[in-house]
Amino acid sequence: MSNSVFSVISRFVEEYRSSTPNKLKVIDAYLLYILLTGVFQFLYCVLVGTFPFNSFLSGFIACVGSFILAVCLRIQINPQNKRDFLTVSPERAFADFLFAHTVLHLVVVNFVG
Amino acid sequence: SHDPSENILICLFSLLVLSMVLETQALTPTHHLTTTDVARLQAVLSQPFTDLKSAYYSVVGLSKLGILVADETCQFIKSNLDPSSVESLFYAAEASQALSGCEIPVSNDTRDLLLATVSEDSTASQIHQSVSALSSLGLPLASQEVVSALKARISKEDNVLTIILALQTASRLSQQAELGDILEEIEDLAARLDDLSGVYLQFEEGLETTALFVSAAYALSDHVDMEPPLKEDQVIQLVNSIFSKKSWDSLSEAFSVASAAESLSNNRFHVPVIVSAQGPAAISHSQPFLRLQVTDVLCQPLSSASVLVESASTSSSKSAILSQAPFTLRDEVFELNFMASQPASGYYQFSVAIAGDSRFVANHVELKVKVSTRVAINNMDLSVVDKDQSTGPKTTRVEYPTKAKAPFMADSHQNFAMAFQLVDETTGVELTPHQTFVRLHNQKTGQEVVFVAEPDSKNLYKFELDTTERKTEFDSISGTYALYLMMGDATLENPILWNVADVVLKFLDEEAPSTIQAKTLYTPKPEIQHLFREPEKKPPTVVSNAFTALVLSPFLLLLILWVKLGANISNFTLSPSTFLFHIGHAAMLGLMYVYWTHLNMFQTMKYLAIIGSLTFLAGNRMLAQKAVKRYSNCFKLILLLLSFASTRMESILFRLSESFTFPYKVHYVPFTHHIEN
């Protein structure tokens, strides 16, 4: 059982390494970073306490929001999805990504207190 | 004829008790002059006069009240008379008429002057004065001329005072004159009175005008012997208005009130009747007579009246006790022995009618009469009852007003009980007064507890004291309590406070007996300290710092990964828009930090708008360039492909065209030439 799981995983990793364009790998690295940041914030909250609760919320929401926006960017940039996003060029996707981030940052900074 | 001043003195002080008189269908006066008011009116009019006008008001006013003035006034009048003034002549003439044996010398000039004033061009006041002077001085006058002058005057000036003066003037004229039109003015004027909440009827010009109207209307009506078109209710409302004011601002106002009072008590048609009870309308065995004073508006008793009780019924049950019982006149007071009908104590509604003269107005009166009685306490039995009913109750009878000799004991085993009956002293009928209280007073501590004794269905009062039940009322303080019976009611003449017995109460769980302090309701309470919300406990700085480092660590990982992936900025196009974009973007991030530390949302939005639009424009440019570059590479590729495809297509077409014969042979130039250019 574990053998098959291991082989699936290694296969997946190989596949990923070879067939994913570099651009997407950059974005994936960014996604990993965001994820880890969010996880560590949650860990703090669980272990130490929710004292300034609004700050915790705003930090966590920032991580979640950034993750989502980056995923959107990744989807829109991926050349394999070109058919689904005929009207959206990668530049347009990136511009949207930046604008959405501005709004997110505004909200987060307002809430962090 | 009786001396009115003596009557006024006899007319005893009565309350403005007409408020006690309930109004049913017909109005009864709510305001009237009492003897003190009449005396005050007299005093105002008796003030020493300074000139002829005030002399006129005083002399004529007092004569209307039936008071004779000293003859020395005649001298004063004669010396102050100005024969060239109509007004002066008027005052002198009227005043001298009121005095006995006072004659004003009249010359031909005076007469001519007075007659000349009677014309359409004089004011109504002048006409009135000249006509009155002529009439009082006994000089002849032409009534018809006066009438036409008055009518002309009325049609020119339609105000109330003019018409009142016309009425007064008309009452001095000959009865053969055509006074019909002027008489009709009374009705028109009456329509101009203001009705105030159904109680008052007065002119907006004020009290004086209303009073003058009343005296003028009745003077004229008496003169022509025709009933004035005033309804009974209107007359009463006029009475209310005129006699509601008990102190008068000016001599003329007092004079007008006096003349109105005189005309209302002496005219041929309407005489308002004032009925008031002498003292409180309360009857008891010691005071069995209900006494009523029946007077006219000048507080003069109406001796010709006969007063009758149409019906007397209890306020609650409305069963009639009396019907058609007459009052007897004694010393100008009408009295009725109501106790002879043996009424039970309580309140009674009397409906009284005053007859004897068809002129009487408001001669049906409703009165509320109280019958009080003395109460006697019968069969006061004090007993100590065993709770478990093992032994029978020990009963002691106590007679009022003695006190029981031995104290009674009430504790956890036995209750104290009290039973008694309350009866009317004379009739023996059972009574239920409003207040029957049992008061227990601890003499040592000063504590007192009051209970209510309730009657049962047989009107037997019972009170029981159970020490376990009543612990809280007594604060569980044992001791000797003096027991009092308190009784009172509006219809009882003898309220009772009777120290019946002493009761020794023993409570279980007795707290240390302390003197009772006054309940601490009104002492300052302990101060409430406001507790601010405690700030939450913060974790130690070490922990916070450690986690901060932990949270920031993935950034390092990101950088490492990016380097590994080979992310670079080699594609960085050096153009102004890219610079601007990156600077703008950095500025926006910086603004976020500043927003967190210093700014508020509005300021941030302002700056964001500026920086954001710049960044947007620059970024748009930059991305467009990038896109163009990408597309241009793409375009070149596509075009190349297209060109290949097109050459292939061309050669195929050419071959095909050879197989078929075309009418024309086209000179074919390969397409590729165009592309290469």
Partners of A27 on chain B (C-beta within 8 Å) are none
Asked whether B14 and B37 are in contact (CB, 8 A), the reply is no
A–B: how many Cβ contacts below 8 A?
79
Q: Positive or negative, the Cα torsion across B140, B143, B149, B153? A: positive
Please indicate whether, in this complex, the C-beta atoms of B565 and A109 are within 8 angstroms of each other. Answer: no
Distance CA B150, CA B128 (A): 9
The residue with tokens 């002077």 is B133
Asked whether B323 and B278 are in contact (CB, 8 A), the reply is no
Mutate to test the interface with A, among B537, B559, B564, B592 (most CBs of A within 10 A): B592
Asked whether B440 and B485 are in contact (CB, 8 A), the reply is no
Please indicate whether, in this complex, the C-beta atoms of B539 and A110 are within 8 angstroms of each other. Answer: no
Q: Where are the domains of chain A?
A: 21-112
The first and second tokens of residue B227, run together, are 């009933």
Asked whether A113 and A54 are in contact (CB, 8 A), the reply is yes
Which residues in chain A come in under a pLDDT of 50?
none
Query: How far off is chain B from A3, nearest CA to CA, in Å?
Result: 29
Please indicate whether, in this complex, the C-beta atoms of B537 and A51 are within 8 angstroms of each other. Answer: yes
B2-10 long-range Cβ contacts below 8 angstroms, 24+ apart: B4/B65, B4/B66, B4/B67, B4/B298, B4/B300, B5/B66, B5/B67, B7/B299, B7/B300, B7/B301, B7/B332, B8/B35, B8/B38, B8/B39, B8/B299, B8/B300, B9/B35, B10/B301, B10/B331, B10/B332
Please indicate whether, in this complex, the C-beta atoms of A102 and B543 are within 8 angstroms of each other. Answer: no
Give per-residue burial for B231-268: e unless 16+ CB within 10 Å, then b. Answer: eebbbbbbbbbbbbbeebeebbbbbbbbbbbbbbbbbe
Please indicate whether, in this complex, the C-beta atoms of B555 and A33 are within 8 angstroms of each other. Answer: yes
Please indicate whether, in this complex, the C-beta atoms of B550 and A40 are within 8 angstroms of each other. Answer: yes
Distance CA B41, CA B35 (A): 10
Which residues in chain B come in under a pLDDT of 70?
1-25, 509-520, 571, 657, 659-677
- Whether pTM > 0.80 for this model: the answer is no
DSSP one-letter code for B301? B
Q: Which residues of A touch B (CB under 8 A)?
A: 22, 25-26, 29-30, 32-34, 36-37, 40-41, 43-44, 48-49, 51, 89-92, 94-95, 98-99, 102, 105-106, 109-110, 112
Please indicate whether, in this complex, the C-beta atoms of A26 and B624 are within 8 angstroms of each other. Answer: no
B379: left (phi over 0), alpha (psi -120 to 50) or beta: left
Question: pLDDT digit string (tens) for B280-297?
Answer: 888 888 888 888 888 888
So what's the pLDDT on residue B164?
Answer: 92
So what's the pLDDT on residue B509?
Answer: 67
Distance CA B671, CA B677 (A): 11
In chain A, the residue whose alpha carbon lies closest to the alpha carbon of B621 is A91
So what's the pLDDT on residue B23?
Answer: 42
Query: How far off is chain B from A1, nearest CA to CA, in Å?
Result: 32
Question: pLDDT digit string (tens) for B512-564?
Answer: 555 555 566 777 888 888 888 877 777 788 888 888 888 888 888 888 888 88
So what's the pLDDT on residue B2?
Answer: 54
> B375-505 has which fold?
Immunoglobulin-like (2.60.40)
Asked whether B461 and B498 are in contact (CB, 8 A), the reply is no
Please indicate whether, in this complex, the C-beta atoms of B553 and A29 are within 8 angstroms of each other. Answer: no
> Which residues are CB-contacts of B236 (< 8 A; sequence separation ≥ 6)?
B26, B27, B28, B29, B272, B361, B362
> Which residues are CB-contacts of B293 (< 8 A; sequence separation ≥ 6)?
B11, B12, B14, B274, B275, B276, B277, B278, B301, B332, B333, B334
Amino acid at B506: K
Please indicate whether, in this complex, the C-beta atoms of A26 and B550 are within 8 angstroms of each other. Answer: no
Query: How far off is chain B from A102, nearest CA to CA, in Å?
Result: 8
Partners of A34 on chain B (C-beta within 8 Å) are 554
The first and second tokens of residue B34, run together, are 């009492």
For residue B451, the cross-strand partners are B438
Please indicate whether, in this complex, the C-beta atoms of B592 and A98 are within 8 angstroms of each other. Answer: no
Distance CA B677, CA B668 (A): 18
Q: What 3-state DSSP class applies to A11?
A: helix
Q: Where are the domains of chain B?
A: 35-268, 274-371, 375-505, 541-646
Mutate to test the interface with B, among A107, A109, A110, A111 (most CBs of B within 10 A): A109
What interhelical angle do B576-597 and A90-112 show, nearest 10?
20
For residue B409, the cross-strand partners are B504
Q: What 3-state DSSP class applies to B575?
A: coil
Distance CA B604, CA B607 (A): 5
Closest CA to B101 of B72, B80, B58: B72
Helices in B302-453 by DSSP H: which ranges?
A: none
Residue by residue, DSSP assigns B613-637 as: HHHHHHHHHHHHHHHHHHHHHHHHH
CA count, 13 A, side-chain hemisphere, B284: 14
Please indicate whether, in this complex, the C-beta atoms of A22 and B585 are within 8 angstroms of each other. Answer: no
Q: 3-state SS of B638-664?
A: HHHHHHHHHHHHHHHHHHHHHHCCCCC
What are the angstrom distances between the C-alpha of B422 and each of A7, B321, B465? 111, 24, 20
Identify how many contiguous H helices and E strands chain A contains and give both numbers.
Answer: 4, 0
> Which residues are CB-contacts of B179 (< 8 A; sequence separation ≥ 6)?
B147, B170, B173, B220, B223, B224
Amino acid at B92: A
In chain A, the residue whose alpha carbon lies closest to the alpha carbon of B619 is A95
Please indicate whether, in this complex, the C-beta atoms of A22 and B601 are within 8 angstroms of each other. Answer: no
> B35-268 has which fold?
Glycosyltransferase (1.50.10)
Please indicate whether, in this complex, the C-beta atoms of A109 and B612 are within 8 angstroms of each other. Answer: no
So what's the pLDDT on residue B360?
Answer: 87
User: How many CB atoms sit inside 10 A of residue B198's CB?
Assistant: 11
Query: How far off is chain A from B569, nearest CA to CA, in Å?
Result: 12
Q: Which of B536, B608, B623 has the CB atom closest to A91's CB atom? A: B623
| Same topology between domain B35-268 and domain B375-505 | no
Q: Positive or negative, the Cα torsion across B592, B595, B601, B606? A: negative
Identify how many contiguous H helices and E strands chain B contains and give both numbers.
Answer: 18, 23
Helices in B11-141 by DSSP H: which ranges?
A: 35-45, 52-64, 72-80, 86-98, 108-117, 124-136
Distance CA B388, CA B289 (A): 56
Query: How far off is chain B from A83, nearest CA to CA, in Å?
Result: 17
Domain B274-371 classification at class level? mainly beta
Query: How far off is chain A from B607, nearest CA to CA, in Å?
Result: 12
Please indicate whether, in this complex, the C-beta atoms of A30 and B551 are within 8 angstroms of each other. Answer: no
The first and second tokens of residue A93, run together, are 């996707």
Partners of A89 on chain B (C-beta within 8 Å) are 627
Partners of B540 on chain A (C-beta within 8 Å) are none
Q: Which residues of B touch A (CB under 8 A)?
A: 536-539, 543-544, 547, 550-551, 553-555, 557-558, 561-562, 565-567, 585, 588-589, 592, 595-596, 601, 604, 608, 612, 616, 619-620, 623-624, 626-627, 630
